[in-house]
Amino acid sequence: MRAMKDPAPSRLEYRMKRLMLRRSMRPFRRYGMPVIALATLAGLWAVDEGRRESTAALVAELRNEIGERPELVVRMMIVEGASPELAASIRESLSVEFPVSPFNLRLAELSEKVLALDAVAHASLQVRSRGVLVVEVDERVPVAVWRRDDGVALLDKTGYRVASVPSRASRPDLPLVAGPGADAAIPEAVQLFDVARPIRDRLRGFIRVGERRWDVVLDRGQAIKLPETQAVTAFKKVIELDVAQDLLERDISVVDFRNPQRPVLRLGQTAFGTIHDG
Amino acid sequence: MMGDLYRNQRAMRAMRQTAMQRGVIAVLDVGTSKIACLILVLDESLDPENDEGIGNLAGQEKFRVIGAATTRSRGVEFGEATVLRETERAIRTAVQAAQKMAQCRVDHVMACASGGRPRSYGLAGQVQVEREIVTESDVAHVLASCDIPDYGADREILHAQPVNFVLDHRSGLTDPRNQIGQRLACDMHMLTADRAPIGNLAHCVRRCDLELAGLAMSSYVSGISALVEDEQELGAACIDMGGGTTGISIFLKRHMIYADAVRLGGEHVTHDIAMGFKIPMNVAERIKTFHGGVVATGVDDRDMIEIDAESDRWDGERRAVSRAELIGIMRPRVEEILEAARERLDAAGFEHLPSRQIVLTGGASQVPGIDSLAARILGQQVRIGHPLRVRGLPQAVTGTAFSSAVGLSLLAAHPQDECWDFELPLDVRAARPLKRAVKWFRANW
């Protein structure tokens, strides 16, 4: 008789088999072991550097081939929702060379570039069918002109800087604001500008004082000092007074409405003299 | 003594409860020639209708065999593990193969032992019923009142089963609870075995990381599976002819009332063949199973058996013996085994039973012609008993050699009441602490 191998499992083998038969090991047997086996195979295959490189090259080549197919290649760009000047500056800032493979277009980067332009509030980029790159933008609309020491800028309704202009005269339709912190209170300034419609021809601008309240400056050196809160109501009262009693036509240099309960008028030089002489 | 027994057996019983809750238990038959392991799923909700025509027999509808394995036994002599390391390996082989078939891990195992020189005792006890109606505590009292004989310090109680209850001259009660009476008596059958083989078996099982959930005598469990219900009811003996021992158990009224074992078995037949023909044991075993028999006829003289078929002798000599010669060696040994069994049955008073059916089972009962030989020695009512059909049992494990494994699984699903299933009455249990308290009072006042 030839010698037979001992059929009995060793103690360790027996214990391992029993461990594997535990109910809690069932997911491991079903998923864990195949995954480990496949990962080991892949790892053994990828040990050789040449194989790894050739695979990478193959993948890159395949990518290029697919990207250059006529159905997929991007040939033109359309800018929607922007004025012609803004569209031109968007094209300039993106500087995409067409035709281009869609794999080489990094839409996230491009959209950041578009958003970096001051006049753009929102931007979304899409590659649509027939190779068109569509840039949809929400343009910021300027509502005020802000004069500062270093130049004149346009602000939108949230106070965000839209563009620089050479002088205030380039946008005479917009109100002029000045003073530090004026950009933070643009909505109020726009409301005040609406209220000021009866005296629009005399209005020179709004000055933000101490980053808390507005002064309305008219021609002839007249100023209306408005309170911190409810400035619009106070300004309406002034306008009503002007419409009813020609308040601002008189020789008054300052209408001080900082305390609405107790408005103060400062007379002009002539009027002052007249009162004293009289 | 009683308390110790209660602790051990109750611990095993608790383990069996845990196994029942988990629903998986293994059954291990450690024999002299083979080790069989079955894995059972215990499930009350198994549908008995759609399963290979097995009906609602004997309560075996409650479980299903999902794993079965057999391996050659190693290091076991006369049903007792003598080389523990080898036996442990064989158990590991069987358990692992069965687990692999079942795809399921088992932690609890019921084992049966065939060795250990079993000895039967009939005990009787009697108490007055406390109130009119017999309660559980009365049953516990009467079981505790059985005076246990001195069965030897190196022996262990394997079974202690209440067999019969007597309530005021009404005998033959199986469950006296809630009946009205004054005097309650009981008969108990107690089976003891040598402590060392039992302890060795438990040790081997524990070394395989398994919890022992029960121990049974193999002659008892093979009787459960090989005897049909009528035989168990009316009285029958089961002779389990194993490899190293031949177990005998007598059943009456569905209870085992006697068990014994003869330390002779099929391996002795193999041994005789090997010595008679001067051939290795494995060849002897082979020709015994292929060509063996106990009744010779004229044609057997011309039926030549090549006994050196696989020999690699240098001179290429080939020998052949006639089948008649083989039978001539086997028959005296088989007769000796059967006569020894006959002696034990006579000693137990088997002839007084109402029905004297004898059922031969076990691996050695597969010898052709043994039924006619046994009829000559044991009496006319002899048959070969195959184990009960059990759901899920593979065909290879349905032979007579597996009747104790199958019987053990029946026992696992339907345990017999043992005396330790009843709470030990409080006065017996509390005797020692109370005595100590009295002593303390005497000493201090």
pLDDT confidence of residue B331: 94
* Distance to chain B for A26, nearest Cα, Å: 10
Percent of chain A with pLDDT over 90: 8
Q: Where are the beta strands (DSSP E) in A149-258?
A: 151-156, 161-165, 176-178, 203-209, 213-218, 223-225, 252-256
Rounded to an integer, the average pLDDT of B236-255 is 92
User: Which of B35, B72, B105, B285 would best serve as a mutation to test chain A binding (most A beta carbons within 10 A)?
Assistant: B105
* Chain B interface mutation, best of A12, A18, A19, highest count of B Cβ atoms under 10 Å: A18
Query: ipTM of this complex > 0.90?
Result: no
Q: What is the pLDDT of residue B311?
A: 55
Query: Could B105 and A1 be called an inter-chain contact, meaning their C-beta atoms sit closer than 8 Å?
Result: no
Residue intervals of chain A classified under CATH 3.40.50.11690 are: 142-277
Give me the percent of chain B exceeding a pLDDT of 90. 45
How does residue B60 score in pLDDT terms, banded at 50, 70 and 90?
Answer: low
Residues A76-88, mean pLDDT to the nearest whole number: 81
Rounded to a whole number of angstroms, the distance from the CA of B104 to the nearest CA of chain A is 6
Distances (CA, A) of A221 to A82, A149, A203, A217, A268: 40, 21, 11, 7, 10
A contacts of B209 (beta carbons < 8 Å):
14-15, 18
> Would the CB atoms of B92 and A6 count as touching at under 8 Å?
no
A44: contact with B, CB 8 A cutoff: no
- Contact of A7 with chain B, judged by CB distance below 8 Å, is answered with yes
Cβ separation of A9 and B92 shorter than 8 Å?
Answer: yes
Q: What is the pLDDT of residues B143-195, one digit of tens each?
A: 888 888 888 888 888 888 888 899 988 888 888 888 898 999 999 999 999 98
- Note if the bond before A99 is cis, omega within 30 degrees: yes
Residue B2 pLDDT greater than 50, yes or no: no
Q: Sorting pLDDT into bands at 50, 70 and 90, what band is B47?
A: low
Residues of A in Cβ contact (< 8 Å) with B89: 6, 8
Q: What is the pLDDT of residues B308-338, one digit of tens each?
A: 755 556 666 678 899 999 999 999 999 999 9
Helix, coil or strand: residue A60: helix
Provide CATH 3.10.20.310 ranges for chain A.
Answer: 76-139
Per-residue model confidence as pLDDT tens digits over A118-162:
778 788 888 887 778 888 888 888 888 888 888 888 888 888 888
What one-character DSSP code corresponds to residue A28?
I
Q: Does the A142-277 domain belong in CATH 3.40.50.11690?
A: yes
- Chain A nearest-CA distance from B64, in A, is 19
pLDDT of A206-263, one tens digit each?
Answer: 888 888 888 888 888 888 888 888 888 888 888 888 888 888 888 888 888 888 888 8
**Percentage with pLDDT > 70 across chain A:** 99
All CATH 3.30.420.40 domain ranges in chain B, comma separated: 267-333
pLDDT in tens, B378-426: 988 999 999 988 888 888 889 999 999 999 998 988 887 777 777 666 5
* Predicted local confidence at residue B236, as pLDDT: 93
Q: Give the pLDDT of residue A42.
A: 92
CB pairs under 8 A between A and B: 33
Write out chain A residues lying below 8 Å of B71, CB-based: 7
- Cα–Cα nearest to B235, from B123, B128, B381, B341: B381
- Domain(s) of CATH 3.30.1490.110: residues in chain B: 120-194
Residue B362 has pLDDT above 80, yes or no: yes
Interface contact B92-A22, CB threshold 8 A: no
Q: Which of A15-29, A86-100, A153-167 has the highest mean predicted lDDT (pLDDT)?
A: A15-29
Q: In this complex, do A21 and B208 lie within 8 Å of one another by their Cβ atoms? A: no
Closest to B341 (Cα-Cα) out of B318, B324, B365, B322 = B365
Whole-angstrom Cα distance, residue B128 to residue B300? Answer: 67
Q: Which of B93, B100, B282 sits opposite A8 (nearest CB)?
A: B93
How confident is the model at residue B377, as a pLDDT?
A: 92
Question: Could you tell me the strand order of the sheet in which B170-173 lies?
Answer: B119-128, B183-194, B155-167, B170-173
Contacts 24+ apart (CB under 8 A), B317-321: B319/B277, B321/B277
3-state per-residue secondary structure call for chain B: CHHHHHHHHHHHHHHHHHHHHHCEEEEEEECCCEEEEEEEEECCCCCCCCCCCCCCCCCHHHEEEEEEEEEECCCEECCEECCHHHHHHHHHHHHHHHHHHHCCCCCEEEEEECCCCCEEEEEEEEEECCCCECCHHHHHHHHHHCCCCCCCCCEEEEEEEEEEEEECCEEEECCCCCCECCEEEEEEEEEEEEHHHHHHHHHHHHHCCCEEEEEEEHHHHHHHHHCCHHHHHHCEEEEEECCCCEEEEEEECCEEEEEEEECCCHHHHHHHHHHHHCCCHHHHHHHHHHHCCCCCCHHHHCCEEECCCCCCCCCCCCCEEEHHHHHHHHHHHHHHHHHHHHHHHHHHCHHHCCCCEEEEECHHHHCCCHHHHHHHHHCCCEEECCCCCCCCCCHHHCCHHHHHHHHHHHHHHCCCCCHHHCCCCHHHHCHHHHHHHHHHHHHHC
Which of B9 and B270 is assigned the larger pLDDT?
B270
Distance from CA of B330 to the nearest CA of A (A): 25
- For the record, the structure tokens of B342 come out as 């006959």
Q: Report the residue from A9, A18, A22 with minimal CB separation from B209.
A: A18
Report the pLDDT value the prediction gives residue A219, as an integer from 0 to 100.
Answer: 85
B123 φ, ψ (degrees, to nearest 5): -115, 155
- The residue ranking higher by pLDDT, B230 or A170, is B230
Report the candidate in B22, B16, B35, B31 with the shortest Cα–Cα distance to residue B98.
B35
Q: Are strands B76-77 and B119-128 parallel, antiparallel or unpaired?
A: unpaired
Instruction: Look at B279 and B48; give whichever has higher pLDDT.
Output: B279
Residue range B14-19: average pLDDT? 86
Question: Looking at the domain that runs over B120-194, which CATH code has it been given?
Answer: 3.30.1490.110
Reduced to 3 states, what is the DSSP secondary structure of residue A232?
helix
Q: Which CATH class is domain B267-333?
A: alpha beta
Looking at domain A76-139, which of 3.10.20.310, 3.90.1150.10, 3.40.50.280, 3.90.550.10 is its CATH number? 3.10.20.310
Q: Cα(A112)–Cα(A93) distance, rounded to whole angstroms? A: 11
> How close, in Å, is residue B90 to chain A by CA atoms?
6
pLDDT confidence of residue B1: 37
Cβ-based contacts of A15 with chain B (< 8 Å): 209
Contact A21 B103 (CB under 8 A): yes
Residue A14 is nearest to which of B71, B96, B310, comparing CB atoms?
B96
pLDDT band at A266; cut points 50, 70, 90: confident
What is the tens place of the pLDDT at every residue in B255-287? 999 999 999 999 999 999 999 988 888 889 999
Contact A9 B280 (CB under 8 A): no
Closest-approach residue (CA) in chain B for A18? B105
H/E segment holding residue A79: strand A76-80
User: Which residue of chain A comes nearest to B312, CA vs CA?
Assistant: A1
Whether chain B has a CB inside 8 Å of the CB on A22: the answer is: yes
